[in-house]
Structure 1
Amino acid sequence: MWKAYDELAWTEAWLEDPQGVEEEVATYHRLMEEHARRPVREVLHLGCGAGAHDRALKRHFSLTGVDLNNAMLRLARRANPEVEYHQGDMRSVRLGRQFDAVVIPDSIDYMASRDDLVLAFETARHHLRPGGALLVVTKPRELFHDNNFAYVGERDGIHVTLLENNHVLPPGDEQYEAVLVFLIRQGGELDVQVDHHRLGLFTQAAWEQTFRDQGLELHQQDLEGIYEPFMIAEGEYPMRLFIGVAPGSD
């Protein structure tokens, strides 16, 4: 299991960007309202993490969250006690109910193979009502390149610096590496932790085909400016927001 989502999950609160999350969720809200063929009232968030996005999402929707990691869910429940949370894997979880929309922000990157990606989409489709919308935020391979980031936060006498390096693997791998280096200073002591992640990186055509295979009508929009403020040196981190709409209507 990744350290960032287990013993280092607490650092999320130190490093998050509340204003950036608010702006990001405002875009999600607008696009779901625009494209769904039914009123969007109940939303399922797959890969909800520590609940940072949920603090904004819950103001617009009745929200249910799912995450694989119990440490992250403990933080999410503390931050959002009114949200219903479940421990589960987005490749296999079944909640026995459907929603007006399903959202998977960039946690979809943890689908590190095409098979995993298909399973996550099958989960989302299983939980989607007729006319509902599936919103996914990701990086098509054609737009992605090596880059580096720095995040800094301080609270309760603890200072956290997170350095992140992204490295694109050869095309046949359909993956990129993210190496996270945590510098944690407390009481004059420095603790250095390193965490290694392999994440999925698929072509635009692969994303479009995955939506088509689930019978979803696809809309898309570029999403910029979320991570650029944290980049080391000049660069850009273009992301793409896909919305797939299920057949039928309310």
Structure 2
Amino acid sequence: MKLYEELADWWPLVSPPSDYAEEAAEYIRLLRAAASGPLKEVLELGSGGGNNASHLKRELSLTLVEPSERMLQVSRALNPECVHLPGDMRTVRLGRVFDAVFVHDAVDYMITEADLRAALETVATHLRPGGVALVAPDATLESFEPGTILEGGDEPAAPDGRARSLRYIEWTLPLEPGATFVDVHYALLLRERDGSVRAEHDAHRNGVFPRATWLRLSDEVGLDARFEPRILGGEEYDTLLAVKRR
């Protein structure tokens, strides 16, 4: 996927860290409400460019795991005080446990039940007994809606007034009957500092599963799970909260 590889250095304009302050505060609230015992050492799986971590690190000690080395470079620049490790959320094993495990919308790239179960097993494996997991998909089957988003950003201008800019359309197609994933297309316009503009297309597939599937798979890997709403911009999103069985 171009967004996480050759276009990774544009990520702060695709998704500015400042946009995540409200979101990170909501995750802290949900984690603290569900936690029993200490809540200090936290693992984030699929940490991407580190936007959530840039806010969460003020209250938590974070270990960030991400499969794309290019995105790890972006996150290291933003969060030099955090531990950064390469790894796939389906298979990574760090040999230690944490007070909490956080998975943001990178979980959307689990497009089969086997993928999702593997990711949840990784979550459970890295939790201490009684530790809490928070998984924040963009949507479950019950809350999924197709649609189009127009976003973008501009970097601060250099002394000569030049700056890079980016605008993109994110187009989420309708879910096909019986499918466990949906196609999402990105059309991006990238303006370089010299004023030249080029277009890029990137195609992703995002998993979409019923709440019942999430809960069943969580139970299978040793997590007592429930769904709670997270409130962002006045809208509710499904959030999986789970506790590792003692």
In the TM superposition, 1:44-63 aligns within 5 A as 44-63=43-62
Q: CA deviation at 1:3?
A: 0.1
Counterpart secondary structure, 2:238: strand
**2:21 pairs with 1:22:** yes
| Aligned 8 A contact 2:132 2:243 in 1 | yes
What corresponds to 1:140 in structure 2?
140
In the TM superposition, 1:157-168 aligns within 5 A as 157-168=163-174
1:174 maps to 180
SS at match of 2:52: helix
SS in 1 for 2:88: coil
Identity of aligned residues (%): 36
- Contact 2:64/2:82, CA 8 A, preserved across alignment: yes
Q: Which residue of 2 aligns with 1:207?
A: 214
Given that residues 33 and 39 in structure 1 are in contact (C-alpha distance below 8 angstroms), is that contact kept between their aligned partners in structure 2? no
Decide whether the 8 Å contact of 2:26 with 2:231 is kept in 1.
no
1:115 alignment partner in structure 2: 114
Unaligned runs of 5+ in 1: 229-235
In 1, Cα distance between the equivalents of 2:5 and 2:17? 22
Matches of 1:225 and 1:65, distance apart in 2:
23
Please list, as runs of the form range in 1=range in 2, the aligned pairs for 1:79-90 lying within 5 A after superposition. 79-90=78-89
Contact 2:145/2:174, CA 8 A, preserved across alignment: yes
- Between the aligned partners of 1:137 and 1:189, the Cα distance in structure 2 is 37
Q: 1:239 aligns with which of 237, 240, 244?
A: 237
Task: Give, as a single letter, the amino acid of the residue that structure 1 aligns with 2:90.
Answer: R
8 Å CA contact retained: 1:37, 1:245 = no
| One-letter amino acid of the counterpart of residue 151, structure 2 | Y
Moved >6 Å (runs of 4+) = none
Do the aligned residues in 2 keep the contact of 1:40 with 1:61 (CA within 8 Å)? Answer: yes
RMSD: 1.6
Structure 1 residue 204 displacement after superposition: 1.4
The 8 Å contact of residues 2 and 8 in structure 2, kept in 1 or not, is answered as yes
Give 2:126's aligned residue: 127
The superposition leaves residues 62-115 of structure 1 with CA deviations (integer Å, 9 ceiling, x where unpaired) of 100000100000011111111001011110001111100000011100111110
The CA distance in 1 between the partners of 2:39 and 2:178, in whole Å, is 39
Contact (CA 8 Å) 1:168, 1:175: kept in 2 or not? no
SS at match of 2:23: helix
Of residues 205, 211, 217 in structure 2, which corresponds to 1:198?
205
Task: Tell me the TM-score normalized by structure 1.
Answer: 0.90
Following superposition, the deviation at residue 205 of structure 1 comes to 1.1
Partner secondary structure for residue 168 of structure 1: coil
**Structure 2 residues not aligned, in runs of 5+:** 158-162
Q: Which moved more, 1:156-165 or 1:15-24?
A: 15-24
